[in-house]
Amino acid sequence: MRRELSRRTFLQTGAAVGGGLLLGFTLPPLSPLSPLPPRVRNDGPFAPNAFIRIDRDGRVTLIMHKVEMGQGTYTSMPMLLAEELEVELSQVRLEHAPPNDALYAEPLFGVQETGGSTSVRGNWEPLRRAGAGARALLVAAAAQTWNVDTSSCHATGGVVIHGPTGRTLAYGALVDRAATLSLPGDVPLKHPKDWKLIGTPAKRLDSPDKVNGKAQYGIDVRLPGLKVATVAVCPVFGGKLASVDDSRAKAIPGVHQVVRLADAVAVVAEHMWAAQQGVAALDIRWDEGPNAQLTTADIVRQLDAASQKPGVVARKDGDVAQAMAGAARKIEAIYQVPFLAHATMEPVNCTVHVRPDGCDLWVGTQVPTFAQTAAAKVTGLPKDSVLVHNHLLGGGFGRRLEVDFIVRAVEIAKQVAGPVKVVWTREADIQHDMYRPYYYDRIAAGLDERGTPIAWSHRVTGSSIMARVTSELFPKTLRVMRAAGWHQLVAMVKGLDVDAVEGAAEPPYALPNIRVEYVRQEPPSIPTAFWRGVGPTHNIFVVESFIDELAAATQHDPFQYRRALLDQSPRAKGVLELAALQAGWGRALAPGSGRGISLLHAFGSYIAQVAEVSVSKQGDVRVGRVVCAVDCGTIVNPDTVKAQMESGIIFGISAALWGEITLKNGRVEQHNFNDYRVLRLPEAPVIEVHLVQSTAAPGGVGEPGTSAVMPAVANAIFAATGKRIRKLPVKDQLRPA
């Protein structure tokens, strides 16, 4: 293999095993916060962290370091590559990358992870550079074959053409020669006006297998001798297994084995039905531990108490105390958002085969290297002996960023001879999720005589997901530090959770005196985790509801009030105006109906939404229409952006109206889709998405739609009823007394 290093992208080429061209490239950290530039290393083995393979038949394979969970990354990543490589999108084949942080780390995180709306943002440049480099090699190989000047040749549709004579050579015929050539030093990327794929609504590559039942998710794994298990977990968080009588369970036909864990019992059977019947037949006594009486109200009391103390400063501009003292008017409020389950359509599951010399995992995961590390820890095997066979994800939303269910499956599999598929029932999936934290926010503003905010104070209180994740990431510290940047790390050491305040610390509005704080308060034994939209999903609801309160309190139109504070943020102002225009802001609505607006700047994107709701006499809310304006910079696939907005909006409406995990006697009170209600087709609004054309760097689109819709709905409810929603979900808050 030979190595060529350019400033931004490291590429190396060589012959693939069995013939063909193999091209490796790294994804350098692109975080603007990172003070550590990618280092050019000339010593030791060079390890690229993504691979393109071009076979002699011309087929291009991209080893995908990102997983597909619905967000369209299996289409947008190949589009970036194919654009510069000059091949048809249909020529690109995908393979799941094996777990390897050194090779496949997400540049924005430092670990191999799909999440945080980062795929296009992190890979936008490296994937195009890789495609351009490979194309340059193939063109050079053709020129050499014909003994002509490289500049007289060009590539298109997987073929190199010699302009003057019209001779052609397909990529497949060139790969062996290309593999012996050196990469040209700096291959320029195409000018946006020459793009053929980027910016087009290319069809999803994963659609055909998803409409005929062929798509394989983790839960679909079939192996010789495979057994199926399901689990009963201690219903109280922090409780343990005291004893279990499994005699009735073992008598059920098809039940093979009962496995005891510290806080759970699993029944291993021929099929899921026998396993479920086996679990139902277990006579279990739990040692419920210290949380046996815990209720949601206890947790809220703890949050309220914690929120009265000062927190770690996340943002401090000007002098809030002085400005507040001089304000003509002061408005303050408390906002609360609940614990939420992810409820992916595919219940969590993991198939494991533990042998004395190795372990295989078949699973759909957003974090394959964490899965590998976790399995190695549970089995005591070296990491290299743990193989992760990643699959399509039947929904992620943050749930499959966690490895709790993988750990549990490996613990069970350690006691089982042969492979075992551990499948959670829907009830277990909801009652033993890792939840979006309950957040308790105190927010206040001081206004001048005209109603303009001159002081802004926001204190976020809640669990720190980042603190847990960072400690779990400890072995990968150096790479993670490099991705996060010192600024964030110093803040984290001081106790700031940068995720918990994202969307609160930097509102797009002109706020001359602003102080944002974070208070960490962990709920007892309740595991918390990221949920679609992460920090902004909670904070945008609070900030955008509160700014609406300020507008209402000072008799301003909520759209005009926001607009007047956006002179320093033209992109934010642009989407706000576009959404208002397209929604017909100001036009009359039927009685009992209302329109609400929201604005978001997060994940590198700007989004404004206008929701229209109607509220029945019984207090039921129907969201009839959502208009969404998006400026996510350069758009790779406009249809994907639209689909992600539709998706995020519907996901967010479910949570805003009904989503809530509550506790009583230490147990989750919700069970299944009957009491963890989600939006259904007849309840879905009309959604209109308007895209802003831009040449700015691409922003993320998987999550912000969810974050923006919750305040838009809450503000529309206020417009319809005069009732301010300061606590989610809306649920029965509008019922007549």
Partner 1 sequence: MVTLKINGTAHTVDVPTDMPLLWVLRDVIGLTGTKFGCGMALCGACTVHLDGRPVRSCVTPVAAATAKQITTIEAIGETPGGRKAQQAWLDLDVVQCGYCQSGQIMSAAALLATKPHPTDADIDAALGGNICRCGTYPRIRAAIKHAAGD
CA quadruple 453, 454, 459, 465: dihedral positive or negative? positive
DSSP 195: -
d(CA 59, CA 57): 6
Q: Which is nearer to partner 1, 339 or 559 (CB)?
A: 339
Q: C-beta of 729: minimal distance to partner 1 in Å?
A: 16
Q: Is 735 exposed, middle or buried (0-12, 13-18, 19+ CB in 10 A)?
A: exposed
Residue with Cβ nearer partner 1 (508 or 705): 705
The per-residue b/e assignment along 2-37, b for 16 or more CB within 10 angstroms, e otherwise, is ebbbbeebbbbbeebeeebbbbbbbbbbbbeebeee
> Judged by CB, which is closer to partner 1: 157, or 201?
201
Least distance (Å) between residue 263 CB and partner 1: 23
Q: Work out the burial of residue 384: count CB atoms within 10 Å of its CB; fewer than 13 is exposed, 13-18 middle, 19 or more buried.
A: exposed
Which is nearer to partner 1, 291 or 605 (by Cβ)? 605
What is the closest distance, in whole angstroms, from the C-beta atom of residue 658 to partner 1 in the complex?
13
Q: Which is nearer to partner 1, 24 or 347 (CB)?
A: 347
Of 448 and 639, which CB lies nearer to partner 1 in the complex structure?
A: 639
Q: Is 619 helix (H, G, I), strand (E, B) or coil?
A: coil
Q: How far is the CB of 613 from partner 1 (least distance, A)?
A: 17
Using a 10 angstrom Cβ sphere, with 0-12 exposed, 13-18 middle and 19 or more buried, the burial of residue 618 is exposed
Q: Which is nearer to partner 1, 62 or 709 (CB)?
A: 709
Q: Which is nearer to partner 1, 75 or 463 (by Cβ)?
A: 75
Judge whether 501 and 542 are in contact, CB under 8 Å. Answer: no
CB atoms within 10 A of CB 542: 26
For residues 672 and 426, the answer to whether their CB atoms sit within 8 Å is yes
Smallest distance, partner 1 to C-beta of residue 426, A: 4
Least gap, CB of 684 to partner 1 (angstroms): 4
Identity of the residue, 29 or 364, whose beta carbon is nearer to partner 1 in the bound complex = 364
Residue 406 has a CB neighbour count (10 Å cut-off) of 26
Q: Where are the beta strands (DSSP E) in 71-217?
A: 92-96, 153-156, 159-162, 168-170
Question: Per DSSP, what are the bridge partners of residue 689?
Answer: 628
* C-alpha to C-alpha distance for 415 and 411, rounded to whole angstroms: 7
Nearest to partner 1 of 472, 688 (CB atom):
688
Q: Measuring CA to CA, how many Å separate 160 from each of 24, 164, 176, 314?
A: 21, 13, 15, 54
Min dist CB 720 to partner 1, Å, is 23
Q: How far is CA 652 from the centre of its chain?
A: 14
Q: Closest CB to partner 1 among 228 and 720?
A: 228
**Measuring CA to CA, which residue among 433, 304, 330, 431 is closest to residue 727?**
304
CB of 412 to partner 1, least distance (A): 17
382: cis peptide before it, omega within 30°?
no
Q: Quote the least distance from Cβ 685 to partner 1, whole Å.
A: 8
* CA 105 to chain CA centroid, nearest Å: 15
**Closest approach of partner 1 to the CB of residue 324, in Å:** 41
Identify which of residues 402 and 497 has a Cβ nearer to partner 1 in the complex: 402
The C-alpha atoms of residue 476 and residue 102 are separated, in whole angstroms, by: 10
| Minimum separation from the CB atom of position 375 to partner 1 (A) | 24
CB of 393 to partner 1, least distance (A): 6
Shortest distance (Å) from residue 672 CB to partner 1: 5
Instruction: Rank residues 217 and 335 by Cβ distance to partner 1 and give the closer one.
Output: 217
d(CA 563, CA 690): 19
Closest distance to partner 1 from the beta carbon of 237 (Å):
23
Using the minimum distance from each CB to partner 1, give the nearer residue, 22 or 79: 79
Name residue 440's beta-bridge partners: 336, 461
DSSP 115-153: -TT-HHHHHHHHHHHHHHHHHHHHHHHHHHHHT--GGGE
Q: Which parts of this chain interact with partner 1 (CB under 8 A)? A: 68-72, 201, 203-204, 206-208, 210-217, 219-220, 222, 228, 253, 270-273, 276, 343-347, 392-397, 423, 425-426, 639, 643, 646-651, 672-674, 678-682, 684, 686-687
**Termini Cα distance of the chain:** 76
Q: How far is the CB of 282 from partner 1 (least distance, A)?
A: 17
> What is the closest distance, in whole angstroms, from the C-beta atom of residue 425 to partner 1 in the complex?
6
Where does 414-500 have alpha helices with state H?
Answer: 426-431, 465-472, 477-484, 486-493
In whole angstroms, the minimum distance from the beta carbon of 211 to partner 1 comes to: 5
Task: Provide, for the chain, the percentages of residues in helix, strand and coil under a 3-state DSSP scheme, each rounded to the nearest 5.
Answer: 35, 25, 40
Residue closer to partner 1, measured from CB, 564 or 678 = 678
Half-sphere exposure of 53 (CA within 13 A, CB side): 16
SS3 readout for 337-348:
ECEECCCCCCCC
**Pairwise CA distance, residues 536 & 356, whole Å:** 45
Q: Are 600 and 629 in contact (CB under 8 A)?
A: no
> ∠ CA(257), CA(263), CA(266), 5° rounding?
20
Q: Name the residue nearer to partner 1 (CB basis): 319 or 683.
A: 683
Q: Compare residues 91 and 216 and give the one whose CB is closer to partner 1.
A: 216
Strands, E assignment, 376-476 = 386-390, 420-423, 439-447, 453-462
